[in-house]
Structure 1
Amino acid sequence: MKNEARLAAPAGPVLFFDSGLGGLTVLREARYLLPYERLLYVADDAAFPIGRWPEADLKARLLSLFEGLIAAHRPKAVVIACNTAFTLVGDALRKAHPQVPFVGTVPAIKPAAERTSSGLISVLATPGTVRRAYTRGLIDSFAGQCHVRLVGSDTLAELAEHHMRGDAVSDEDLLAEISDCFVERDGRRTDIVVLACTHYPLLANRFRKIAPWPVDWLDPAEAIARQLVRVLGSAAAEEPAQAPDSAIFTSAPKDPVLERLLAGFGLVLINDRVVRRRGT
């Protein structure tokens, strides 16, 4: 019955959502595993950074935006490649759109707790993810025997956007955002940092160079892509898509730098009036 339900799903693209460029890390992993799927990337950059929004306002915005996206594009599945968005509206979206499978992104606290040797874990996230009860619940459920430090950054997602666009981002600015992740206690050190925002893996190589000691920077992108494969099941495309993969940004930018960056991920930047109208 589950496979039949999936086969009856709309034959549209797999939709990836984030507030900016971070979800591209998830889309890249998904393309490796699902090379024939048509992919649509949607960035609510008009609201970026969404971690600073009041929860009630952000929830209303996201629910309205997805109503328009799902009606216009009839996605086969939706990947919410944003911890802040999914932990806030994931349940509500599943209730509002039961015909669409949703794959979410949550802080990778469970695998971190399973891998740590020192028992000292840090979760590097946006302020919205840090203060959400969902995150605390993950810690209570899966990392009760560990010391987990939550580190909220106001600017790291923005620094990642600047880095991806080729703007200068100093080591000093990055170190100021990640330094609180490194804890020493009773001769033990933090050995895993959970990257609980899809923007942060874009800076992982920089983090490795400036970190005070080596740690495992836990990137959830591959695990999310594998979950998408499981959700699609036998409904996964087996032949190349006829339409190109595309990207929509709610601010409707006309930015040659962005267009070149997206082309590197195999995406064509397009405009969508429905999304722009709801993303204002």
Structure 2
Amino acid sequence: MAQQRHERPIGVFDSGVGGLSVLRALRAELPHERFVYLADSAHAPYGERGDAYVAARTHAITRYLRERHHIKALVVACNTATAAAIHEVRGSHPDLPLVGLEPALKPALAATRTGHVGVIGTRGTLTSAKFARLLASLDGHVRFTVQPCDGLAHAIERSVAQPVDAKETETEALCERYIHAMGAFGTGPGQIDTLVLGCTHYVFVEPELRALVGPDVYFMETGEPVARQTRRLLEGAGLLNTSPPDGAMPIRLLTTGPVQMLTAAAQRWLELPAGCCASVSAPNLEVKLASSA
């Protein structure tokens, strides 16, 4: 029996495992949907690549997810890929419901009480024309301190294989360096009281960031707003699945890099079994199931 369109999976992709934070929010908002997640870890980090390279990967992955997994919608769970390629992908796939990410500046504008908002993200995101337009549209409303965090997303990827109780980690050192470079955090006059997490990876170092900025600073991330927007698009297109999935595995996690890294991240952050994970070969993204997790 042919699969109905509303029963098809939602595609989700990121340059690595950081987009699992968005997938977590999507699963909470859309419990009856199937998902195919692809981590392009062999080509990460996107934030330190050029726009043309990121756009090419985004187009290749979109085609792969459509042709091999017959996705009904796509969530680009990567700020850098959204900035570099979202408009091109929409033009190439006008029939595909598509959701991208952007740093949560507008919600931060509504949340701040001191009028000073911090933004952390990859250099690729924060130097993009898309981000510049977003920032310019809010010029004069509040003060924004923008901090590129070179190497942090990649360090978070590597940290998956490290013991969680390691005394001193690369991610902690990088968080400390970049947060201290931004100035004073808190609720006092002129202090940064709202921090925008402009990369999906950063959600997974919230404890480290919280220890540095204190208990009163608002954190703004994009997982839940993206999940709500995805629901709205599916409802509008008549593609929302309202019955629990049966038969095939409701979630598949794929990576162009080492499957062990994805497996560790899925188990640590989403409590998903190793059997959900597989590797895909690059650059053609042909499926290659992992022989072991």
Q: Give the structure 2 partner of residue 181 of structure 1.
A: 182
TM-superposed deviation, 1:19: 0.8
Moved more, 101-110 or 134-143: 134-143
Q: Give the structure 1 partner of residue 116 of structure 2.
A: 120
Paired letter, 1:179: H
C-alpha root-mean-square deviation of aligned residues, in Å? 2.4
Q: 1:74 aligns with which of 70, 77, 88?
A: 70
Cα distance in structure 2, aligned partners of 1:254 and 1:32: 24
Cα distance in structure 2, aligned partners of 1:232 and 1:143: 33
Structure 2 counterpart SS, 1:237: coil
1:105-125 Cα distance to aligned partner (Å, 9 max, x none): 001111111111111111101
1:240 paired with 2:227, answer no
Q: Give the structure 1 partner of residue 279 of structure 2.
A: 271
Aligned pairs for 1:93-242 (under 5 A) are: 93-167=89-163, 168=166, 169=169, 171-183=172-184, 187-211=189-213, 214-233=216-235, 234-241=238-245, 242=247
Q: How many residues align?
A: 269
Instruction: Say whether the 8 Å CA contact 1:10–1:74 is kept in structure 2.
Output: no
Cα distance in structure 1, aligned partners of 2:229 and 2:189: 37
TM-superposed deviation, 1:60: 2.0
Structure 1 counterpart SS, 2:200: coil
Structure 1 counterpart SS, 2:284: helix
Cα distance in structure 1, aligned partners of 2:219 and 2:161: 22
Cα distance in structure 2, aligned partners of 1:230 and 1:258: 29
Moved more, 116-125 or 9-18: 9-18
Cα distance in structure 2, aligned partners of 1:13 and 1:145: 40
TM-score normalised per structure 1: 0.88
Structure 2 counterpart SS, 1:259: helix
Cα distance in structure 1, aligned partners of 2:242 and 2:215: 45
The 1:269–1:145 alpha-carbon spacing in structure 2 relative to 1, beyond 3 Å, is: same
Structure 1 counterpart SS, 2:12: strand
Cα distance in structure 2, aligned partners of 1:83 and 1:172: 23
Instruction: Say whether the 8 Å CA contact 1:123–1:148 is kept in structure 2.
Output: yes
Q: Give the structure 2 partner of residue 22 of structure 1.
A: 18
Instruction: Say whether the 8 Å CA contact 2:18–2:201 is kept in structure 1.
Output: yes
Cα distance in structure 2, aligned partners of 1:64 and 1:276: 9
Cα distance in structure 2, aligned partners of 1:145 and 1:173: 30
Cα distance in structure 2, aligned partners of 1:51 and 1:105: 14
Paired letter, 1:269: C
Q: Percent identity?
A: 31
TM-score normalised per structure 2: 0.84
Paired letter, 2:278: I
Q: 2:45 aligns with which of 33, 45, 49?
A: 49
Instruction: Say whether the 8 Å CA contact 2:17–2:262 is kept in structure 1.
Output: no
1:73-115 Cα distance to aligned partner (Å, 9 max, x none): 1211111111000111001111101111001100111111111
Runs of 5+ in structure 1 lacking a partner?
1-7
Runs of 5+ in structure 2 lacking a partner?
287-293
1:185-238 Cα distance to aligned partner (Å, 9 max, x none): x94201111000000011011111122674111111111111111111142112
Structure 2 counterpart SS, 1:46: helix
Paired letter, 1:198: T
1:150-192 Cα distance to aligned partner (Å, 9 max, x none): 11011111222233333542533320122223347x9420111
Instruction: Say whether the 8 Å CA contact 1:9–1:76 is kept in structure 2.
Output: yes
